[in-house]
Structure 1
Amino acid sequence: MTDDDYYPPVSPISAGLPGKCPRCGRGHLFKNFIDVPPACDACGLDYAFADSGDGPAVFVIMIAGFVVLGFALWLEFTYEPPMWVHIVVSLPLLIVVCGGLLRVLKGVLICLQYRNKAAEGRWEG
Protein backbone atom coordinates (compact mmCIF):
# COMPACT_ATOMS: atom_id res chain seq x y z
CA MET A 1 0.00 0.00 0.00
CA THR A 2 1.44 3.39 -1.00
CA ASP A 3 0.84 6.87 0.35
CA ASP A 4 -1.31 7.61 -2.69
CA ASP A 5 -3.84 4.99 -1.55
CA TYR A 6 -4.76 7.14 1.47
CA TYR A 7 -5.92 10.04 -0.70
CA PRO A 8 -8.96 10.06 -2.99
CA PRO A 9 -8.17 10.82 -6.64
CA VAL A 10 -8.00 14.52 -7.40
CA SER A 11 -8.80 15.87 -10.86
CA PRO A 12 -5.66 17.36 -12.45
CA ILE A 13 -7.72 20.27 -13.77
CA SER A 14 -9.40 21.11 -10.45
CA ALA A 15 -6.06 20.92 -8.65
CA GLY A 16 -3.88 22.49 -11.33
CA LEU A 17 -5.96 25.57 -12.14
CA PRO A 18 -5.82 27.02 -8.60
CA GLY A 19 -2.28 25.67 -8.03
CA LYS A 20 -3.07 22.98 -5.46
CA CYS A 21 -1.27 19.73 -4.67
CA PRO A 22 -1.97 16.96 -7.22
CA ARG A 23 -2.27 14.30 -4.50
CA CYS A 24 -4.35 15.91 -1.72
CA GLY A 25 -5.79 18.96 -3.51
CA ARG A 26 -5.24 21.12 -0.41
CA GLY A 27 -1.56 22.09 -0.26
CA HIS A 28 0.07 24.74 -2.38
CA LEU A 29 1.83 23.76 -5.61
CA PHE A 30 3.70 27.07 -5.88
CA LYS A 31 5.71 29.01 -3.31
CA ASN A 32 5.56 32.20 -5.39
CA PHE A 33 4.50 32.95 -8.96
CA ILE A 34 5.86 29.81 -10.69
CA ASP A 35 8.46 28.28 -8.33
CA VAL A 36 7.58 24.83 -7.00
CA PRO A 37 8.50 24.15 -3.35
CA PRO A 38 10.34 20.95 -2.35
CA ALA A 39 7.19 19.31 -0.92
CA CYS A 40 3.47 19.83 -0.30
CA ASP A 41 2.76 21.76 2.88
CA ALA A 42 -0.37 19.67 3.58
CA CYS A 43 0.40 16.03 2.70
CA GLY A 44 4.19 16.10 2.30
CA LEU A 45 4.25 14.91 -1.34
CA ASP A 46 7.78 15.29 -2.68
CA TYR A 47 7.65 17.60 -5.72
CA ALA A 48 10.95 16.32 -7.13
CA PHE A 49 8.99 14.73 -10.00
CA ALA A 50 7.56 18.13 -11.02
CA ASP A 51 9.38 19.13 -14.18
CA SER A 52 7.03 20.70 -16.66
CA GLY A 53 9.95 21.89 -18.80
CA ASP A 54 9.01 24.21 -21.64
CA GLY A 55 5.50 22.79 -22.03
CA PRO A 56 3.63 25.64 -20.31
CA ALA A 57 5.61 28.27 -22.23
CA VAL A 58 4.81 26.62 -25.56
CA PHE A 59 1.10 26.49 -24.79
CA VAL A 60 1.16 30.11 -23.59
CA ILE A 61 2.91 31.24 -26.79
CA MET A 62 0.34 29.46 -28.94
CA ILE A 63 -2.72 30.65 -27.05
CA ALA A 64 -1.54 34.21 -26.39
CA GLY A 65 -0.26 34.57 -29.92
CA PHE A 66 -3.64 33.57 -31.32
CA VAL A 67 -5.62 35.82 -28.96
CA VAL A 68 -3.42 38.93 -29.04
CA LEU A 69 -2.59 38.73 -32.74
CA GLY A 70 -6.28 38.28 -33.52
CA PHE A 71 -7.09 41.33 -31.42
CA ALA A 72 -4.30 43.40 -33.01
CA LEU A 73 -5.46 42.46 -36.51
CA TRP A 74 -9.06 43.27 -35.66
CA LEU A 75 -7.97 46.62 -34.22
CA GLU A 76 -5.88 47.41 -37.29
CA PHE A 77 -8.49 46.50 -39.89
CA THR A 78 -11.41 48.03 -38.01
CA TYR A 79 -9.95 51.38 -36.86
CA GLU A 80 -6.56 51.72 -38.64
CA PRO A 81 -4.94 53.36 -35.58
CA PRO A 82 -1.37 54.70 -35.50
CA MET A 83 1.40 52.36 -34.35
CA TRP A 84 1.58 53.88 -30.86
CA VAL A 85 -2.00 52.74 -30.18
CA HIS A 86 -0.99 49.15 -30.94
CA ILE A 87 1.95 49.47 -28.56
CA VAL A 88 -0.15 51.02 -25.78
CA VAL A 89 -3.03 48.54 -26.14
CA SER A 90 -1.64 45.27 -27.50
CA LEU A 91 1.59 45.08 -25.50
CA PRO A 92 -0.12 45.25 -22.07
CA LEU A 93 -2.71 42.75 -23.32
CA LEU A 94 0.10 40.39 -24.33
CA ILE A 95 1.73 40.71 -20.89
CA VAL A 96 -1.54 40.11 -19.03
CA VAL A 97 -2.52 37.09 -21.14
CA CYS A 98 0.94 35.49 -20.92
CA GLY A 99 1.27 36.13 -17.19
CA GLY A 100 -2.22 34.88 -16.48
CA LEU A 101 -1.83 31.68 -18.44
CA LEU A 102 1.69 30.65 -17.42
CA ARG A 103 0.99 29.71 -13.80
CA VAL A 104 -2.32 28.04 -14.62
CA LEU A 105 -0.89 25.90 -17.41
CA LYS A 106 2.19 24.97 -15.38
CA GLY A 107 -0.07 23.82 -12.52
CA VAL A 108 -2.24 21.72 -14.83
CA LEU A 109 0.76 20.12 -16.56
CA ILE A 110 2.41 19.22 -13.24
CA CYS A 111 -0.85 17.69 -11.98
CA LEU A 112 -1.22 15.71 -15.21
CA GLN A 113 2.39 14.58 -14.87
CA TYR A 114 1.64 13.29 -11.35
CA ARG A 115 -1.61 11.57 -12.32
CA ASN A 116 -0.10 9.82 -15.35
CA LYS A 117 3.13 9.00 -13.50
CA ALA A 118 5.10 10.63 -16.32
CA ALA A 119 8.87 10.56 -15.93
CA GLU A 120 12.01 10.60 -18.00
CA GLY A 121 12.65 7.52 -20.09
CA ARG A 122 15.04 5.00 -18.52
CA TRP A 123 16.91 2.09 -20.04
CA GLU A 124 16.13 -1.30 -18.57
CA GLY A 125 19.19 -3.39 -18.45
Structure 2
Amino acid sequence: MSVEIGVADKRSVGDAMWKGGLCRCPKCGEGKLFRAYLKVDRTCSACGEEFFHHRADDLPPYVAIFVVGHVLVGLMLHMEMVWRVHPMTYIYTMVPLAIILPLLMLPSIKGAIVGLQWALRMHGFDPDHRDPAQPEYP
Protein backbone atom coordinates (compact mmCIF):
# COMPACT_ATOMS: atom_id res chain seq x y z
CA MET A 1 0.00 0.00 0.00
CA SER A 2 1.55 3.29 -1.06
CA VAL A 3 0.62 6.70 0.26
CA GLU A 4 0.42 9.64 -2.10
CA ILE A 5 2.04 12.79 -0.79
CA GLY A 6 0.76 16.11 -2.06
CA VAL A 7 3.01 18.66 -3.71
CA ALA A 8 2.66 20.98 -0.71
CA ASP A 9 3.73 18.16 1.63
CA LYS A 10 6.97 17.26 -0.16
CA ARG A 11 10.09 17.63 1.93
CA SER A 12 13.49 18.21 0.36
CA VAL A 13 16.00 15.71 1.73
CA GLY A 14 18.99 17.88 0.80
CA ASP A 15 17.57 21.04 2.38
CA ALA A 16 16.49 19.20 5.53
CA MET A 17 19.91 17.59 5.95
CA TRP A 18 21.67 20.91 5.27
CA LYS A 19 19.56 22.74 7.86
CA GLY A 20 20.02 19.88 10.33
CA GLY A 21 23.78 19.90 9.68
CA LEU A 22 23.76 23.57 10.66
CA CYS A 23 22.01 22.47 13.91
CA ARG A 24 18.81 24.23 12.88
CA CYS A 25 15.23 23.02 12.49
CA PRO A 26 14.99 20.93 9.30
CA LYS A 27 11.54 22.40 8.56
CA CYS A 28 12.04 26.15 8.95
CA GLY A 29 15.80 26.52 9.41
CA GLU A 30 15.25 29.15 12.10
CA GLY A 31 14.87 27.39 15.46
CA LYS A 32 17.68 25.53 17.19
CA LEU A 33 17.69 21.75 16.88
CA PHE A 34 19.67 21.07 20.06
CA ARG A 35 19.04 22.25 23.63
CA ALA A 36 22.47 20.94 24.73
CA TYR A 37 25.56 19.47 23.06
CA LEU A 38 23.81 16.38 21.60
CA LYS A 39 20.37 16.67 23.24
CA VAL A 40 17.74 17.25 20.59
CA ASP A 41 15.08 19.72 21.69
CA ARG A 42 11.48 18.50 21.98
CA THR A 43 10.10 21.08 19.55
CA CYS A 44 11.32 23.90 17.35
CA SER A 45 11.16 27.25 19.12
CA ALA A 46 10.32 29.01 15.84
CA CYS A 47 7.77 26.79 14.05
CA GLY A 48 6.75 24.23 16.69
CA GLU A 49 7.84 21.14 14.72
CA GLU A 50 8.23 18.12 17.03
CA PHE A 51 11.68 16.53 17.18
CA PHE A 52 11.22 13.94 19.90
CA HIS A 53 10.38 11.32 17.26
CA HIS A 54 13.97 11.12 16.02
CA ARG A 55 15.96 7.91 16.37
CA ALA A 56 19.50 8.90 15.41
CA ASP A 57 20.91 6.49 18.03
CA ASP A 58 24.39 5.19 17.12
CA LEU A 59 24.65 6.35 13.50
CA PRO A 60 26.30 9.76 14.18
CA PRO A 61 29.28 8.27 16.08
CA TYR A 62 29.74 5.60 13.41
CA VAL A 63 29.79 8.23 10.66
CA ALA A 64 32.18 10.46 12.63
CA ILE A 65 34.57 7.59 13.35
CA PHE A 66 34.41 6.45 9.72
CA VAL A 67 35.24 9.91 8.36
CA VAL A 68 37.93 10.78 10.91
CA GLY A 69 39.50 7.33 10.62
CA HIS A 70 39.84 7.63 6.87
CA VAL A 71 41.22 11.16 7.07
CA LEU A 72 43.78 10.32 9.76
CA VAL A 73 44.94 7.07 8.17
CA GLY A 74 45.34 8.85 4.84
CA LEU A 75 47.28 11.62 6.54
CA MET A 76 49.52 9.13 8.36
CA LEU A 77 50.22 7.20 5.15
CA HIS A 78 51.05 10.43 3.34
CA MET A 79 53.38 11.54 6.14
CA GLU A 80 55.19 8.17 6.06
CA MET A 81 55.71 8.34 2.31
CA VAL A 82 56.91 11.95 2.20
CA TRP A 83 58.92 12.34 5.42
CA ARG A 84 60.74 10.24 7.93
CA VAL A 85 58.38 10.58 10.91
CA HIS A 86 59.28 9.71 14.47
CA PRO A 87 56.57 7.44 16.00
CA MET A 88 56.00 9.86 18.89
CA THR A 89 54.85 12.44 16.34
CA TYR A 90 51.73 10.34 15.85
CA ILE A 91 51.11 10.22 19.58
CA TYR A 92 51.38 13.99 19.87
CA THR A 93 49.33 14.84 16.77
CA MET A 94 47.05 12.02 15.68
CA VAL A 95 45.71 10.92 19.06
CA PRO A 96 44.43 14.41 19.98
CA LEU A 97 42.98 14.78 16.48
CA ALA A 98 41.29 11.38 16.80
CA ILE A 99 39.59 12.61 19.97
CA ILE A 100 38.78 16.20 19.05
CA LEU A 101 37.59 15.85 15.43
CA PRO A 102 34.73 13.39 16.07
CA LEU A 103 33.53 15.50 19.00
CA LEU A 104 33.46 18.58 16.78
CA MET A 105 31.62 16.73 14.00
CA LEU A 106 28.99 14.93 16.07
CA PRO A 107 26.38 17.73 16.43
CA SER A 108 26.36 18.46 12.69
CA ILE A 109 26.19 14.78 11.77
CA LYS A 110 23.38 14.12 14.24
CA GLY A 111 21.52 17.20 12.99
CA ALA A 112 21.83 16.00 9.39
CA ILE A 113 20.51 12.55 10.37
CA VAL A 114 17.55 14.07 12.22
CA GLY A 115 16.93 16.20 9.12
CA LEU A 116 17.03 13.08 6.94
CA GLN A 117 14.54 11.32 9.19
CA TRP A 118 12.26 14.37 9.13
CA ALA A 119 12.40 14.68 5.34
CA LEU A 120 11.67 10.97 4.82
CA ARG A 121 8.91 11.04 7.47
CA MET A 122 10.58 8.33 9.51
CA HIS A 123 9.88 7.40 13.15
CA GLY A 124 6.74 9.43 13.73
CA PHE A 125 7.68 12.54 11.75
CA ASP A 126 4.60 11.87 9.60
CA PRO A 127 1.60 13.02 11.67
CA ASP A 128 -0.77 10.85 9.61
CA HIS A 129 1.13 7.61 10.28
CA ARG A 130 2.37 7.68 13.86
CA ASP A 131 3.12 4.46 15.66
CA PRO A 132 0.29 3.96 18.18
CA ALA A 133 2.71 2.09 20.48
CA GLN A 134 4.97 5.14 20.73
CA PRO A 135 3.75 7.37 23.55
CA GLU A 136 3.59 11.11 23.13
CA TYR A 137 6.49 12.94 24.73
CA PRO A 138 5.66 13.85 28.35
Q: Distance in 2 between matches of 1:61 and 1:67?
A: 10
Q: Which has the higher helix share?
A: 1
Pairing partner for 2:97 from 87, 93, 97? 93
For 1:81, the equivalent position in structure 2 comes to 85
Letter in 2 for 1:33: Y
For 1:3, the equivalent position in structure 2 comes to none
Task: Report the alpha carbon displacement of residue 81 of structure 1 after superposing the two structures with TM.
Answer: 1.9
Q: Does 1:24 align with 2:28?
A: yes
Task: Report the alpha carbon displacement of residue 111 of structure 1 after superposing the two structures with TM.
Answer: 0.5
Gaps of 5+ in 1: 1-5
Letter in 2 for 1:98: P
Letter in 2 for 1:112: L
Task: Report the alpha carbon displacement of residue 9 of structure 1 after superposing the two structures with TM.
Answer: 5.1
Q: How many residues align?
A: 117
Q: Distance in 1 between matches of 2:9 and 2:30?
A: 11
Q: TM-score, normalised by structure 2?
A: 0.73
Q: Distance in 2 between matches of 1:81 and 1:22?
A: 45
Pairing partner for 1:59 from 37, 59, 63? 63
Higher mean alpha-carbon deviation, 37-46 vs 106-115, is at 37-46
For 2:4, the equivalent position in structure 1 comes to none
Q: Which runs of structure 1 show a deviation greater than 4 angstroms over 4 or more consecutive aligned residues?
A: 6-10
Gaps of 5+ in 2: 1-7, 125-130, 132-138
For 1:44, the equivalent position in structure 2 comes to 48
Q: Distance in 2 between matches of 1:116 and 1:76?
A: 44
Contact map agreement 2:41 2:52 (CA 8 A) in 1: no
1:84-118, Cα deviation, whole Å (9 max, x unpaired):
11111112222332122211111011001011011
- Percent identity at matched positions? 26
Contact map agreement 1:29 1:40 (CA 8 A) in 2: yes
State the SS of the aligned residue for 2:52. Answer: helix
Q: Distance in 1 between matches of 2:73 and 2:23?
A: 28
